[in-house]
């Protein structure tokens, strides 16, 4: 029988927390895409409803897929994938901030959150915590 695995060490809790936040972000994108896009400072064009399916499909699907797998299987390699995803998200935001003159308060807070969400599972997955 498969049962839900609760983390038992501090490192596992840190990685699990990052996965849980990722799932929450995915659920927000799936069930409230307009609100989520507004929070992300994005808007859809009225004549392009497919933009909402992009938020629900591509963005929510990836967050939910990786986050739920990390929560259910609780394996270091899955946590590494989660951490790498968040690390490259932060890297992309930093590149945008430098090349697109996007150094704003929103981007600074966002990159800080992304770095934390990347560090938690990476530290555990690499055996550093």
Pick 84 or 6 by higher pLDDT. 84
Residue in 20, 18, 50, 27 with CA at minimum distance from that of residue 123: 18
> Which pLDDT score is estimated for 2?
65
Q: What is the pLDDT of residues 30-66, one digit of tens each?
A: 999 999 999 988 888 888 888 888 888 989 999 999 9
The three-class DSSP label of residue 116 is helix
Q: What is the percent of the chain where pLDDT is above 90?
A: 78
Mean pLDDT along residues 107-128: 97
Q: What is the percent of the chain where pLDDT is above 70?
A: 98
Phi, psi of 43 (to 5 degrees): -140, 155
H-type alpha helices, 1-129: 10-31, 33-39, 50-54, 60-73, 76-99, 105-125
The gap between the terminal CA atoms of the chain, to the nearest Å, is 30
> Which pLDDT score is estimated for 51?
84
> Which pLDDT score is estimated for 124?
97
Instruction: Using pLDDT thresholds of 50, 70 and 90, give the confidence band for residue 100.
Output: very high
Q: From CA 78, how far away is CA 96, in angstroms rounded?
A: 27
Q: What pTM did the predictor assign?
A: 0.90
Query: Are the C-beta atoms of residues 117 and 21 closer than 8 Å to each other?
Result: yes
Instruction: Using pLDDT thresholds of 50, 70 and 90, give the confidence band for residue 76.
Output: very high
Q: How high does pLDDT run on average in the chain?
A: 93
């Amino acid at each position: 029988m498969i049962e839900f695995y609760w983390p038992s060490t501090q490192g596992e809790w840190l990685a699990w927390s990052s996965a849980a936040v990722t799932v929450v972000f995915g659920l927000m994108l799936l069930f409230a895409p307009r609100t989520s896009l507004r929070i992300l400072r994005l808007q859809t064009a009225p004549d392009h409803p497919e933009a909402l399916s992009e938020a629900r499909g591509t963005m929510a699907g990836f967050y939910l897929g990786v986050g739920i797998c990390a929560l259910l299987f609780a394996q270091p390699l899955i946590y590494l994938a989660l951490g790498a995803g968040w690390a490259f998200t932060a890297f992309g935001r930093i590149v945008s901030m430098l090349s697109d003159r996007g150094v704003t308060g929103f981007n600074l807070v966002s990159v800080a959150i992304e770095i934390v969400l990347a560090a938690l599972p990476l530290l555990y997955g690499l055996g550093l915590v």
